[in-house]
Structure 1
């Protein structure tokens, strides 16, 4: 037996091999800890359940010795599973490239998959009788409206295409092109006509538009196929009625949709912007200076957001609530001191830092107590990011002893997190700019613009915008909008001329000596 001698490996090559193995292991660990395994598991379960649902053969009038329902033959079921898998993988890739944030939270993926399965099941139920198949347009329209409300138009249009393909197979074994086109027409009309919900009648208007589009599309397809007039008018009427009823149902279940997807529609934001909201009333009573500051931040942040196409209403309402944590200790913040002595004079810089930083955590707890939506709570926790409290940091450096070690700036930073959306970044910058602008003695547009630019560059260099997809061009537009709004707010006034006759008479009166009776009439203080 011949034993082969182990080849000696160069130490450098061995080090390279070890590094490569370490990198592969770290990549594997990153994949395992990423949201992909959960997403793949959810996708697999969705494909299996959907295939079984679409593979049911239901007999509305079962014959003797025939079951009410049964599964299709296994070759058909297997082929159907391949088709469902292909469509589902396509939808997953669309999520990966255009809405990756959904994959980061498994609850969002589960909500989306559950929505698809429920609507497909309803479509299967409507498919028992041929005359009721046009009702399948209703779930397609519901899918388009819900996804547009929960996310945006682009995402809703893309996902709606995948849903209508699955729904066409839910109606029949052979996908009906006619029904597919009707569903696409109704869903597209909803996606394009529904941008935001600011009024309670918006969904009714969208449903009415979709109803008209569905009716005329179904009618036109019936004429093209040379069907009897009474038949295609019946199918068009059923599809149009289902479309309109869906809008009514979604209007009724809108709060549940918002809670399921963790969103707040524009209509909900408008409700929270009302000054009669209990939390805003409490802020106005307990911290009037902070309330006034928040109103101004909301105004300038909304203008800045609209300059880059962001959600201006969300910025405004988020700014109203960003400082609610100051309700607990309003006297420790300069805008509420009303000219009285600062309470921080009696505290050490470290203690003052704890008090100031505490308003972020207090704000989160108050927001949860009052049931504030998560989309508004982000402004409370991110409006300072991890910025440095420069005043107290420099005070601590002045007072440090030789016995103590050097003061670290990490001890005087806010806990964060950093802004994760454009709207949160805008409110952060607007808050800093408005506060700093109050310290200026001369509010000329040039000085305001210079101040805003310096603050923006400091936040950028400090890495505060690292976690939000804000571009330099958008940051420049935000700076210009904030500078314009702040300069307009701090505009100057010309001095009104005094009345010369009254001034002369007052001077003569002051020069005349007072009599004893005049002195007796002088009020005492």
Structure 2
């Protein structure tokens, strides 16, 4: 219902913007004709979104952001056109806003969706620019649309991610060159057979190219606002958050060094697995760095931070231990909000355990319950409920989040192996992956079995390489014998 209301609002707003002059002058037939055109274009856009971006239909914030970008750019273009009048700059404003729309959409969405939406905007922009001076109601024609389309296509196909501050400048420069060549060709076609002043022709094409380049510069300055509006993080932002001097990472390294080391390893494993199936490896790596930040509050209750000391869980009941272990997810989310971590990174904190069972403490509670009656009779009271020993969730909703969940589980399991070989690692990784799959942890993300197989292969290779065997150094004959060691008591490991 809300999607329909958004569509109706979009049609009404676009018609009002495009037909602004006609409404003021009382030419209601023109308004009606523009309304019909807008309705048909909007219906086509709705079908395009339904087929190629239907996930946006359930994310109303993203839908409203998309509509907002359309309307703001169209309104800005209309104001510029009305202010410029019959100036040579008038058509070039449309080219500049089309490039801005293309860059914004390809940053916020994927390339296929961006080129469709940006092309639709170019059509609306052609209508907004209006007729050529002295031609009555004749529109600028296909020439202006082709000029915009050149900039749109260049931006969408050359901008996949922003890892450096020069990337947007490079894309803007390429778009300006493409726009200049197309505009130059269009100007010659419009005046075919008529002698033209070369300087005027080049100047007209240069106006479009300059507008396209300035559009890219505008996005460079508005990038933080775009990220906040669409609730995304570009690769450049992710690289900033991967810096070890970030306050949260520095705090994790100081107060929970074992967890910090574990997170770095998970990051490299997850990045390789994501790239093996064509996902965002950088997002996985940075998300892995932050997925366990909730352990900062109680680091000594997690085995990787015990540093040889006795386990604190020996003094606690299984239920209390489970509450502490599960609590690190909630603590991590609260810390992420406190430090202003982007929502795209917070998802890894929330979902890296999904709704899995805390098996060690559940089995310990079951054993304690069964041993509660030494006479061998039926134990008193109800046995512990499995749901009480599960994480609260949510389960992963993206492939990257699922990769982090699996990386976290297999790393701990492989670390506990006495003899690490590739064959043993593959068995452990496959068993854990199938266990998560059968437990329904991947039900809410679109991960396929083929992709899961590729993830398993990549993780097995990474883990076997990291935990490879080493040749023992020779001991000198006169070296003192090492002191006898006491047998180690098995420790509780988080799963």
> Structures share a fold, TM > 0.5?
yes
For residue 17 of structure 2, the aligned residue among 53, 78, 85 is 53
Q: Is the counterpart of residue 93 in structure 1 residue 47 in structure 2?
A: yes
Cα offset, 1:187, TM superposition: 0.8
Mapped partners of 1:40, 1:92: distance in 2: 10
Cα deviation, 1:63-122, whole Å, max 9, x if unaligned, reads xxxxxx815522221121111111112112211221122221222111111110111122
What residue ranges of structure 1 are gaps of 5+ in the alignment? 1-36, 59-68, 511-525
Of the two structures, which has the highest relative contact order with CA contacts closer than 8 Å and spacing of 6 or more? Answer: 2
Contact 1:126 1:136 in 2 (8 A): no
Match of 1:255 in 2: 224
Q: Return the match for 1:368 from 337, 354, 375.
A: 337
**d(CA) in 2 for partners of 1:337 and 1:494?**
27
Residue of structure 2 aligned with 1:291, choices 247, 260, 273: 260
Given the alignment, which residue of 415, 436, 441 partners 1:459? 436
Matches within 5 A, 1:201-216: 201-216=166-181
CA distance in 1, matches of 2:37, 2:72: 19
Name the counterpart of 1:311.
Answer: 280
Question: Counterpart in 1 of 2:186?
Answer: 221
Q: More deviation in 72-81 or 337-346?
A: 72-81
Counterpart of 2:36 in structure 1 is: 82
Report the 3-state secondary structure (helix = DSSP H, G, I; strand = E; otherwise coil) of the residue aligned with 2:200: helix
| Aligned equivalents of 2:231, 2:388: Cα separation in 1 | 34
Please give the secondary structure, in 1, of the residue aligned with 2:24: strand
Shift of 1:231: 3.2
SS at match of 1:253: helix
- The equivalent residue for 2:491 is none
After TM superposition, give the deviation of residue 49 of structure 1 in Å: 1.3
Distance 1:93 1:383 in 2: 35
Change in CA separation of 1:71 and 1:448 when aligned onto 2, cut-off 3 Å:
farther
Which residue, 434, 444, 451 being the options, matches 2:411?
Answer: 434
Give CA deviations for 1:310-358 in whole Å, capped at 9, x if unaligned: 0000000000000000000001100001111111111111111111000
Q: 1:398 to 1:200 in 2, by over 3 A?
A: same
Contact 1:153 1:191 in 2 (8 A): yes
Could you tell me how far 1:175 is from its partner in structure 2?
5.4
Q: C-alpha separation between the residues in 2 aligned to 1:134 and 1:289?
A: 57
For the residue of structure 2 that corresponds to 1:198, the secondary structure is coil
- Aligned partner of 1:405 in structure 2 is 382
| Alignment check: 8 A CA contact 1:305 1:478 kept | yes
Give the distance between the partners of 2:315 and 2:73, measured in 1 at CA.
64
Kept in 2: contact 1:55–1:71 (CA 8 A): no
Distance in 2, Cα, partners of 1:377 & 1:149:
20
- 1:148 pairs with 2:106: yes
- CA-CA distance at 1:391 after TM superposition: 0.5
Task: Report SS of the residue matched to 2:21.
Answer: strand
* Residue number among 414, 420, 427 corresponding to 1:443 in the alignment: 420
Q: State yes or no: 1:355 paired with 2:343.
A: no
Q: 1:472 aligns with which of 442, 449, 463?
A: 449
CA RMSD of aligned residues (A): 1.6
Q: Distance in 2 between matches of 1:139 and 1:97?
A: 26
Match of 2:24 among 59, 70, 73: 70
Q: What is the count of residue pairs matched by the alignment?
A: 458
Q: Distance in 2 between matches of 1:496 and 1:106?
A: 62
Query: Larger deviation: 443-452 or 88-97?
Result: 88-97
Q: CA deviation at 1:230?
A: 3.2
Deviations 1:389-437 (A, max 9, x none): 1111111111125221122211110000000000000000000000111
Match of 1:341 among 310, 314, 320: 310
1:165 aligns with 2:129: no
Partner of 1:277: 246
1:114 corresponds in structure 2 to 68
Counterpart for residue 289 of structure 2: 320
Which of 472, 485, 495 is residue 495 of structure 1 equivalent to?
Answer: 472
Structure of larger gyration radius: 1
The answer as to whether partners of 1:218 and 1:232 remain within 8 angstroms in 2 is: no
What residue ranges of structure 2 are gaps of 5+ in the alignment?
Answer: 131-136, 373-378, 482-495
Partners of 2:474 and 2:352 lie apart in 1 by 44
Which of 84-93 and 465-474 deviates more? 84-93
CA distance in 1, matches of 2:36, 2:174: 36
